[in-house]
Structure 1
Amino acid sequence: MTLEVLWEKLADITTKSGMKCGRSDQCNADCCRPSVSGSEPGVTPPEIELINGFLAKQRGFRFYEAGEDSCKFLDKNGKCRIYAVRPIDCRVHFCIDDSLASRPNHKAANLVEDYHSRHDVEFMETELIDSFKFSGEH
């Protein structure tokens, strides 16, 4: 299974389950702020490659528009600027109520686990998104 196929299957699971952000403020992107959430998504080499390909097509892309305390891909309004190619970790996180904990979805978790077991080497090379320097980042 390719990463793109995994993304399609995750989108289907998400749609069918009705999963969405459960925050009362309708997603203020606090989960995308490691200083607030205390966690940071990982990226695998195939995700890095797709993100870099996406970035290569963007003119004048600036990292950290939302500030240094936020994910490097958020814009000034707290919206993800790489949403179409966001990492798996971002695709499966849905806040529970006003906490930043993620609502579990067993179908999605099993699918991701199966994908990673088939791509063990890539999974073992996962890096934290903020630690990795993407194309065009200084």
Structure 2
Amino acid sequence: MASIKRDEIEKSIAYAEKNGIFEKLNKIYDTVPSGKCEGCAKCCMESVGINLTEFLNIYKYLKERPEIYNKYIDKVLDYYFMEYKEKKPCPFLDENKRCAIYEVRPLNCRIFGHWYKSDYNLNLDSIKEKNRDYRDLMKARYGFEINEDVVEYRIEYCEKFIPDNGERLSKEERLSYLDQIMILDSQIYSKGMIDIDFRDRGIVEYFIDSLFFTDTSYNMKIKISQDFDKGEKVLKRIKKIVAVGKK
């Protein structure tokens, strides 16, 4: 059983469709300024944070395209369970550095190039400090070292992205987009159709929670991280179990 049950997802998607929530989400996306991106994909190196409404929108998109879902769910598993060993790109990035879910990519992807450099670097410094604290916690609690390349990885500020209007977004403007999407989330949560805790999740974590209980997946991740040689065999078994569940 998963933390986010399949029937809860389907009911929430049906509610969102009936009440125009995905249309409202797209209208929010449409107000994000456009810009010129070189497509280097250097920014596509994390489990980017998303909201519930965004997860449901992406999940619906993939389930309507099972060939894409089936191709990328293994990459989701690789990213999550091997996260402490090596830094992998976003699992939805294809071999040609193209986004497999570009049409429904989340807000954080859409506004990435729109940060002011000073704001971006302050946020990056905060993330690095949290990563180091987490590394120390894992060492003290479970006795293993997170790969230092993972801990210290930086997605550098993009100097090459050019906003079409020549202006980047202030912190207040970026947060206003987030607030609008959180209002959509609250409409779904208020109906009690989906029983999950209200916390920050990345896109990978949302999909993992749609496959496993949170405690189960986390405990398996810790065991794999304590011995990666044996862990790769465990991951192969996990993939087989998930593959059976997709049928």
Q: Same fold by TM (over 0.5)?
A: yes
Structure 1 match to 2:204: 130
Structure 1 match to 2:48: 40
The answer to whether residue 184 in structure 2 is matched with residue 115 in structure 1 is: yes
Tell me: CA distance 1:72–1:55, structure 2 relative to 1, closer, same or farther (3 Å): farther
RMSD of aligned residue pairs (Cα, Å): 3.9
Q: CA deviation at 1:20?
A: 2.6
Residue 30 of structure 1 aligns to a residue whose secondary structure is coil
For residues 31-74 of structure 1, what are the alpha-carbon distances to aligned partners after superposition, in whole Å with 9 as ceiling and x for unaligned?
A: 2202xxxx63235252353144144154872454xx95101000
- TM value normalised by structure 2: 0.38
Tell me: CA distance 1:60–1:108, structure 2 relative to 1, closer, same or farther (3 Å): closer
Structure 1 match to 2:41: 29
- Give the number of the structure whose residues are more often helix, by fraction: 2
> Are 1:55 and 1:61, in contact at CA under 8 Å, matched by a contact in 2?
no
Residue 130 of structure 1 aligns to a residue whose secondary structure is helix
Distance 1:48 1:125 in 2: 18
Q: Which of 95, 99, 102 does residue 83 from structure 1 map onto?
A: 102
- TM value normalised by structure 1: 0.59
Distance 1:32 1:57 in 2: 22
Tell me: CA distance 1:43–1:13, structure 2 relative to 1, closer, same or farther (3 Å): closer
Larger radius of gyration: 2
> Are 1:33 and 1:71, in contact at CA under 8 Å, matched by a contact in 2?
yes
Q: How many residues align?
A: 124
Residue ranges of structure 2 left out of the alignment (5+ in a row):
1-18, 80-87, 118-155, 159-167, 212-237, 240-247
Distance 1:48 1:118 in 2: 18
Residue 77 of structure 1 aligns to a residue whose secondary structure is coil
Tell me: CA distance 1:82–1:125, structure 2 relative to 1, closer, same or farther (3 Å): same
For residues 84-138 of structure 1, what are the alpha-carbon distances to aligned partners after superposition, in whole Å with 9 as ceiling and x for unaligned?
A: 23234434433446616x9443553442243234334668266322233478x93
Distance 2:113 2:23 in 1: 20
The one-letter amino acid paired with 1:11 is: Y
Distance 2:104 2:201 in 1: 16
Structure 2 match to 1:99: 157
Structure 2 match to 1:61: 71
Structure 2 match to 1:71: 90
Tell me: CA distance 1:4–1:79, structure 2 relative to 1, closer, same or farther (3 Å): same
Instruction: Out of 43-52 and 76-85, give the one that drifted further.
Output: 43-52
Residue ranges of structure 1 left out of the alignment (5+ in a row):
none
Matches within 5 A, 1:7-18: 7-14=25-32, 18=33
